[in-house]
Amino acid sequence: MPAPESWMGLLSAAEQTHLSDLESRIPTPSYPPKDQWYRALEVLEPDQVKVVVLGQDPYHGAGQAEGLSFSVAQGPWPPSLKNIFKELCDDLDCQPPFQGSLLPWAEQGVLLLNRVLTVSPGQAGSHQGLGWESITQAWIQAMAVGEPKAFWLWGSEAGQLASELDADKHLVLQAPHPSPLSSWRGFFGSKPFSQTNQWLISQGRTPIDFDAI
């Protein structure tokens, strides 16, 4: 299933050709299923995006990845998602979520986009360097145009795009990745949820109900 037209329109002709070629070269099998590669883009039109959460690549366990960064369709929650929920509860003083799917965030204007949109089963980072990075970077650059947005850059891969963003215009929140290896280096206590909602309110926009999951 191709990317939605509204998002394809943000790519140059050369980037669209590159994406078509890339799609034909993705190894089989891969996660998430092909019909969910662009789910983050199918949920939201470009002009509906208020918050961008940039991940690295999909979860590589069976049944986990659903095309939304950090989101789990079913099964046990990976450690990084558990850490996100821990920070959510500490930040907003809310109850732990009942599900691992972050679709309710996406439906409120949160673009949950990975730098790399596919992965081979059981092989984290296996599709890095295949060509996804230039495409997702183009979409991030497009998001930096127009209405101010909040950008969450978690980890070194996401942080590389900080230079593409005008911090005077947007809310740019950088933090270590929420994985067990780095979450204690500054992810915990970063309070992205409350900071983002305070900023959205200051912009005269509706905050995100982050604990509605």
26 Ramachandran zone, left/alpha/beta (phi>0; psi -120 to 50): beta
From CA 156, how far away is CA 91, in angstroms rounded? Answer: 23
Among the listed residues 35, 47, 57, 166, the single catalytic one is 57
Distances (CA, A) of 74 to 42, 78, 96, 138: 20, 11, 16, 30
SS3 65: strand
**Nearest CA-CA partner of 114 in 196, 122, 17, 124:** 124
Catalytic status, residue 47: no
Separation CA 169–CA 167 (nearest Å): 5
Cα 54 to chain centroid distance, Å, stands at 4
Our measurement of the distance from residue 196's CA atom to the centroid of its chain's CA atoms, rounded to an integer in Å, reads 15
- Catalytic residue numbers read 57
